[in-house]
Amino acid sequence: MTDKNKIDAFILAAGLGKRMRHLTEDIPKPLVKVNNKPLIDYSLDYLINFGINNIIVNLHYKSETLRSYLELWQKKYKDIKFTLSFERDVLLDTGGGIVNGLNFISSDSFFILNSDTIRVDSKKNTMNQMLSAWDKKNMDFLLLLIPVEKVQNYGRSGDFHLSSNNIVTRVNNNSSNKYIYTGLCLANTSVFLNNSEIIFSINKLWDTSIIKKRVYGLVYSGYWLHVGTPEELEYAEESLRSI
């Protein structure tokens, strides 16, 4: 199993947050508060509590505001390296954003987190499970997935199908079991090398690797929330208070 102290994490936090409407007029979405706690704190706490000590965060919208906030984290956790990857002129999308910050990644595999998702693990530590399942020789990505029927107040109906041997494919009309991506995956760093495109979605890399049968999935047993709209924010706050 890969040593958790020798693996990096990349938090995607550069988005415009337009669906949050008035809530992101003056601040970036990662700083929108969920029960008085900035949204990005849920990802940072998740990583730090696990033992990750090299965290990269990409920034674009209201980047100086987010940078100032993350500098407070750096002062608090002096033994953890925080690196900020700026997308100053244009938003590079998820794949392009990671490629832009690739020089900051020192490990041959790394975690990728969406900053607008919250996970509350059950008894099992999910990141440990992912590292135990990770096979760098045969995997480009290991996606943490959750069955559609276990998710409420989320507008999408599920993008992925999971085979009996945990190989991921895109859903089709014949898919009997559908899964939602929880905003956390393990990635093979080499997949991001030698990409000529500047602006592109990570979905493009997923689809290429899916054809090669190199995308695997792990089913999440914890509680998952997506916070992308004011309505989802309200639901998340109510749900977290009841857990």
Task: Kindly report, residue by residue over 29-80, the tens digit of the pLDDT.
Answer: 999 999 999 999 999 999 999 999 999 999 999 999 999 999 999 999 999 9
Distance CA 224, CA 119 (A): 5
Nearest to residue 60, comparing CAs of 91, 32, 18, 31? 91
The residue that leads in pLDDT, 1 or 68, is: 68
Sequence-separated (6 or more) residues with CB below 8 Å from residue 193: 102
Average pLDDT, the chain: 94
Q: Does pLDDT of 157 surpass 90?
A: no
- For residue 175, the model assigns a pLDDT of 67
- 150-179 per-residue burial string, b: 16 or more CB within 10 A, e: under 16: ebeebeeebbbbbeeebebeebeeeeeebb
Query: What percent of the chain clears pLDDT 90, i.e. is strictly above it?
Result: 89
Length of the chain: 243
Residue 119 is part of a domain; what is its CATH number? 3.90.550.10
Distance CA 160, CA 162 (A): 7
Distance CA 90, CA 93 (A): 9
Distance CA 192, CA 96 (A): 9
Distance CA 56, CA 101 (A): 8
Element (H, E) at 130: helix 126-133
For residue 220, give its domain range: 4-242
Q: How many domains does the chain have?
A: 1
Task: Note the pTM of the prediction, 2 decimals.
Answer: 0.96
Give the lowest-confidence range in 45-59, 73-87, 162-176, 219-233.
Answer: 162-176
Residue pLDDT, tens place only, 192-216: 998 889 999 999 999 999 999 999 9
- For residue 1, the model assigns a pLDDT of 59
pLDDT band at 144 (very low <50, low <70, confident <90, very high): very high
- For residue 192, the model assigns a pLDDT of 97
3-state class of 79 per DSSP?
coil
